[in-house]
């Protein structure tokens, strides 16, 4: 593998990634670790890929849309190797295509950032069943299949890191996002259990639990007419940095953002039925208009207080 112009800096970053002495790293020009990032064409996934590149990882990036080629071209300009894979992880064929690309690279995956995810708004019984199942297949099936393969390889080598993008949505009943929230509850739980099973193997699992983030998620989930879809959201770069740093430290779970930490804490004490009603006010179709009208009403009261 060629040495980039910033080889010395890259060595320092690789040391951070692998936790090895810089002399050991510098002796081997092929030492740059390999990271695989799914859902990497936009949003949190692209920001995670950028952080991997900045910290000395070569990359395989995957997404279910052609924009993954543009993302890979951008990442290569940073001096790293980056292979794009356009595949649908909701299907076994898509997972196998990504695994084949990993095997073809000849590199061992040092970091797997399983970020691919999909949402779908609206009442469950009104949703197209195939679209609802695609949410489950992407968020659960694709993630589990990929981790089973890569995780086994990591365990056999005795080192590796995995970051699973769960969500605080997994902590509450997702009225009008029922399948999505349930799928994230699975991932939140799965990550903790897997990390415990891998204790003392040299492989760590971190669960990133963001809240609403400024990405194209809500547009793709057909939720732009909801309060949560139109309100101010967290910055994807900030969320990704929180998750990446936690993965590198081997932390188990990390909730991104103070407000989300408060929501996570609230979910532990508020009854599920109450949480479900609260979620309705955020995610039910038409709540964007209702929220806008309430905001205007509050502004009028502020501008013209009662005598």
Report, as residue numbers or ranges, the catalytic residues.
180
User: What residue ranges in the chain does DSSP mark as E strands?
Assistant: 34-38, 58-63, 82-86, 109-114, 160-165, 203-209, 253-255
Strand partners, 55: none
Q: Distance (Å, rounded) from C-alpha 164 to C-alpha 98?
A: 17
Centre a 10 Å sphere on the Cβ of residue 27 and count the other Cβ atoms it contains.
10
Q: What region does 21 belong to: left with phi over 0, alpha with psi -120 to 50, or beta?
A: beta
Closest by Cα among 57, 84, 80 to 72:
84
Task: Tell how many helices (H) and how many strands (E) occur in the chain.
Answer: 14, 7
């Amino acid at each position: 593998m060629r040495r980039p112009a910033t080889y010395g800096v890259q060595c320092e970053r690789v040391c951070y990634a692998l936790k090895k002495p810089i002399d050991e790293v510098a002796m081997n020009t092929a030492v740059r670790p390999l990271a695989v990032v799914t859902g990497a064409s936009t949003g949190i996934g692209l920001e995670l890929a950028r952080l991997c590149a900045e910290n000395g990882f070569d990359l395989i990036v995957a997404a279910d849309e052609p924009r993954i080629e543009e993302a890979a071209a951008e990442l290569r300009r940073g001096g790293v190797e980056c292979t794009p894979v356009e595949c649908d992880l909701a299907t076994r064929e898509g997972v196998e295509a990504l695994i084949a690309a990993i095997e073809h690279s000849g590199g061992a995956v040092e970091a797997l950032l399983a970020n691919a995810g999909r949402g779908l708004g609206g009442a469950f019984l009104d949703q197209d069943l195939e679209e609802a199942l695609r949410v489950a297949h992407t968020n659960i099936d694709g993630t589990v299949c990929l981790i089973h393969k890569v995780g086994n390889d990591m365990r056999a080598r005795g080192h590796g890191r995995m970051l699973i993008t769960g969500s605080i949505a997994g902590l509450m009943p997702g009225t009008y996002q029922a399948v999505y929230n349930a799928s994230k509850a699975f991932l939140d739980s799965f990550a903790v259990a897997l990390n415990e099973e891998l204790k003392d193997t040299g492989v760590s699992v971190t669960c990133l639990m963001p809240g609403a983030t400024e990405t194209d998620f809500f547009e793709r989930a057909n939720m732009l007419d909801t309060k949560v879809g139109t309100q101010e959201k967290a910055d994807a770069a900030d969320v990704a940095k929180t998750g990446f740093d936690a993965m590198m430290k081997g932390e188990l779970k990390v909730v991104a953002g103070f407000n989300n930490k408060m929501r996570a804490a609230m979910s532990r004490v508020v009854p599920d039925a109450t949480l479900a009603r609260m979620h309705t006010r955020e995610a039910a179709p038409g709540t964007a208009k209702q929220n806008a009208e309430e905001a205007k009403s509050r502004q009028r009261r502020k501008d013209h207080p009662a005598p």
